[in-house]
């Protein structure tokens, strides 16, 4: 049981480049979300999904796109990377039947230069 | 939307002392309040949670209390140990699928 798997773990991007952070979960959770964590700060919600085909914006959605074509996968796309997007990104999943406990992936460290 | 405030931002205690971290929330619809521990370079991990129909929950040295009227909840760690040193986050969940997190408390337990 892998839980929540996200890739890559580390990435360096140049300003203006685009990339996709991959996220997959094997727990059949209906809810998935992406958070960013800046140094010394809490977790801020970027986008979330309550099921396949349904996504919604969180607290800091600008500059990011998501899609949820399957229950398992929830990729996060950076459209045109900016230095302000340097952060640690966590994908997470949860389920009502699992008590709404949030399970996090291991994190993706992204640096935009 | 939901707003969660967490205090203090840093907390230093001697080994064996107790530590208390407090959070307040704004959305009266929130009904699930988890606490996460995050060690340096690692993902947040759930340590305890409480739901709105319960006032207190305990798990060995960790306890959480909830006051729905005042919209605040607290984490209590007794008999602290150096391995308790980490960043602790509270969260409030009103809408299924997303939670609002506090800014975290860095706990240092000095041997």
pLDDT in tens, chain B (111 residues): 889 999 999 999 999 999 999 999 999 989 999 999 999 999 999 999 998 888 999 999 999 999 999 999 999 999 999 999 999 999 998 766 778 999 999 999 999
Give me A72's structure tokens.
């398992």
- What is the widest separation between alpha-carbon atoms in chain A? 42
Whether the CB of A74 is below 8 Å from some CB of chain B: the reply is: no
| CB spacing of B44 vs A90 below 8 angstroms | yes
Contact B76, B48 (CB under 8 A): no
Q: Which B-chain residues 4-63 have CB contacts (< 8 A) with chain A?
A: 6, 32, 34, 36, 42-46, 49
Give Cβ neighbours of residue B76 (< 8 Å, ≥ 6 apart).
B18, B19, B20, B62, B63, B64, B65
CB contact B93 to A (< 8 Å): yes
**Chain B nearest CA to A18, separation (Å):** 25
- CA of A84, closest CA in chain B: separation in Å? 19
- Chain B: residue nearest A6 by CA? B43
Q: What is the pLDDT of residues A24-72, one digit of tens each?
A: 999 999 999 999 999 878 899 999 999 999 999 999 999 999 999 999 9
Is A43 within 8 Å of B101 when comparing Cβ atoms? Answer: yes
Token duo for residue A51: 């099921």
| Partner B contacted by A1 (CB < 8 A) | no
How many residues are there in chain B?
A: 111
Q: Where are the beta strands (DSSP E) in B1-111?
A: 4-7, 10-14, 19-25, 32-38, 45-51, 56-59, 62-67, 72-77, 86-92, 100-101, 105-110
């Amino acid at each position: 049981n892998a839980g929540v798997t996200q890739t890559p773990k580390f990435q360096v991007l140049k300003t203006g480049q685009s990339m996709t952070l991959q996220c997959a979960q094997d727990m059949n959770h209906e809810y998935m979300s992406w958070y960013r964590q800046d140094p010394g700060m809490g977790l801020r919600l970027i986008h979330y999904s309550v099921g396949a085909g349904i996504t919604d914006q969180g607290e800091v959605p600008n500059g990011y796109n998501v899609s949820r074509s399957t229950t398992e996968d929830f990729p996060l796309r950076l459209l045109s990377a900016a230095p302000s997007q340097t952060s640690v990104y966590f994908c997470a999943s949860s389920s009502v039947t699992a008590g709404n406990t949030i399970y996090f992936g291991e994190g993706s460290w992204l640096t935009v230069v | 939307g939901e707003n969660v405030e967490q205090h203090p931002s840093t907390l230093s205690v001697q080994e064996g002392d107790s530590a208390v971290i407090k959070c307040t929330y704004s959305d009266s619809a929130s009904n699930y309040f988890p606490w996460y521990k995050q060690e340096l370079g690692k993902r947040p991990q759930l340590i305890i949670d409480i739901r709105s129909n319960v006032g207190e929950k305990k798990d060995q040295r960790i306890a959480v209390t909830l006051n729905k009227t005042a919209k605040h909840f607290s984490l209590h760690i007794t008999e602290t140990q150096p391995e308790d040193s980490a960043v602790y986050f509270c969260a409030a969940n009103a809408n299924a699928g997303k939670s609002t997190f506090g800014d975290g408390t860095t706990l240092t337990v000095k041997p």
